[in-house]
Chain A
């Protein structure tokens, strides 16, 4: 499996077919969700889905824009797959509407949604058809002439770099090849919207990483809007332009991967994405310079400074979250007295490129700090039972209100 930077071998395509494939990749400034003039391609309006008494999706309103690679992320049972299946037409919302390109598709059957195609977690290949007939299935349903189907199938197979297997049956292929067939079959109809339900869940880790970049390449080359469901936060961070973190049927946060990581809005999001240290506290004062002073709920009177988030009031209960890699860990007491805690090293986890330190602070908290092992034993290495100081800049601490 190789990752080729450009599409090859589509000698067949007509001018209009090639235009779709050559559409340029989204630029780094790609942020249509910030542009109020931009119309979303998908709009969920107050969508709720109940199965009996169980609320799978609870009043979700969400806009997804053209050419986004949008990830629905959450643990199993959070409603992300239900949301995707409503988009494909396999589930009907109990309440609310779903609009695609301004058109209400809430009540359309899956086979009436010609501009939406889905790739299934189990791949759902047709076992009695060859790869070629699998990929051409959707086009045959449209009644396209055979010679055109052949061209489009070849094009889709070239896009996923799966040329020489066209006459095999699915059970004669490896898992990675089956995954490509499933992708080619969904993309062959050139949908405006491509839905992917845990598309890489069955692949091993190495293959999965390659396949993620491959998905991004195909998404950029075709200019299709992708919506992916995943429970793997690294996968979502890698491929997505924006991530919706879901929890028990609701949206916790919808932001870019960077924002999700650096400025999570809730404790749930902070803990779901990566490691984080969270301390409960109270707002003591708002000095007015864009920072906030917080005292721990344990009541030892210390004050920590953090970059403020909007709308805080003095006395409010908040949580201060600091990512492990934001700490500066040292054996000497730092000059500064702001945001410094003293502690003892409980545990060291050496991972080669980085080390994890579990520090027992004076106040009795357990804190995880992380340090890149950039220098080769120049400094004395930090070890068990060492007394250390952890220091972090004010803007590394994120104040959470929920």
Chain B
């Protein structure tokens, strides 16, 4: 068999990755630019990062974003886990297909639609728009991602483990907290991290559902960029990239750990069967 190495493949990979990452790389590099002009390199400096701390508007927006992401991710994880439990455990109940369809539809729903419909809802019920409407909106659209992640783990979960716990005298609540949750914990954590990062970088839904009182970082950046890109924006964007990257890395690491453990368990059972 011939070697898989070919100039065409190498070129394709180089161009592909360049296309994906060069803009980000340039953004990161220019966040360390001494010059105020974003297109001219004036030497290395971290002054824009220091300047960020003085920029109260940006810091406020960053703090709001983190709080929104934290609260909405926590809500989404709880709701998503519950939805996943119902979908996997309840078996065939009337309306199951509809229910699962409705949970997963927001995954492919255009954000504009989600944002608009939430806005209309908040207006209709006369809910004061601001911080909490963004939280609710983010919890709504990240919940389905959380549900998918947790559901994937629950489908290969041996239910007799829960039966064993109940047989040994644990109530359903005790069984959930002592047995089910610890076993699915890695997937719950990665669901939370996924929801957190999704909320962190959302612009569209936040713009639709916010009021005058709350501005998230992506919204702030977007509005500033319209007045011209400053190296400060590059700096804050770099920090966000770092946040998201770490979040995604931890989430994928947890998922890998989980599948390794599941594999180990399977092998142990196979060894028993031999």
Q: Which residues of A contact B (CB under 8 A)?
A: 88-90, 109-111, 113-114, 116-118, 120-128, 137-138, 141-142, 170-176, 178-179, 185-186, 189, 202-204
B171: contacting residue among A111, A113, A137, A186, CB under 8 A: A111
* Neighbouring B residues of A125 by C-beta, 8 Å: 161, 164
A33: min CB distance to chain B, Å? 27
Q: Is B6 in the interface zone, CB < 8 Å from A?
A: no
* Neighbouring B residues of A176 by C-beta, 8 Å: 272
A111: contacting residue among B158, B166, B183, B272, CB under 8 A: B166
> In the complex, A142 Cα to B174 Cα: how many Å?
12
In the A-B complex, list the 5 residue pairs whose CB atoms are closest, starting with the nearest. A175-B272, A138-B168, A141-B169, A124-B164, A124-B160
Contact between chains at A114 and B169 (CB < 8 Å): yes
> In the complex, A204 Cα to B274 Cα: how many Å?
6
Counting residue pairs across A and B whose Cβ atoms lie within 8 Å, the total is 95
B153: min CB distance to chain A, Å? 13
A175: contacting residue among B164, B166, B168, B269, CB under 8 A: B269
Contact between chains at A110 and B272 (CB < 8 Å): no
> In the complex, A114 Cα to B274 Cα: how many Å?
34
Q: Is B264 in the interface zone, CB < 8 Å from A?
A: yes
B169: contacting residue among A123, A171, A172, A189, CB under 8 A: A189
Q: Which of B139-169 contact A (CB under 8 A)?
A: 158, 160-161, 163-169
Interface size on B, as a range, is 20 to 34
Q: A110-B167, A138-B169 are in contact. Are A175 and B271 (CB under 8 A)?
A: yes
Given A114-B169, A175-B272, 16 other A-B residues pairs in contact with their CB atoms under 8 A: A90-B163, A110-B166, A117-B167, A120-B164, A122-B158, A122-B160, A124-B158, A126-B161, A126-B164, A128-B183, A141-B168, A170-B265, A175-B274, A186-B168, A189-B168, A202-B273
* Neighbouring B residues of A122 by C-beta, 8 Å: 158, 160, 269
* Neighbouring B residues of A137 by C-beta, 8 Å: 165, 168, 170, 178
Contact between chains at A141 and B274 (CB < 8 Å): no
> In the complex, A138 Cα to B178 Cα: how many Å?
12
Q: A175-B273, A202-B273 are in contact. Are A127 and B167 (CB under 8 A)?
A: no
* Neighbouring B residues of A142 by C-beta, 8 Å: 169
- List, sorted by A's number, 7 A–B pairs whose CB atoms are closer than 8 Å: A111-B168, A111-B169, A117-B167, A137-B170, A141-B169, A171-B261, A186-B167
* Neighbouring B residues of A89 by C-beta, 8 Å: 166-167
* Neighbouring B residues of A174 by C-beta, 8 Å: 271-272
Contact between chains at B265 and A171 (CB < 8 Å): yes
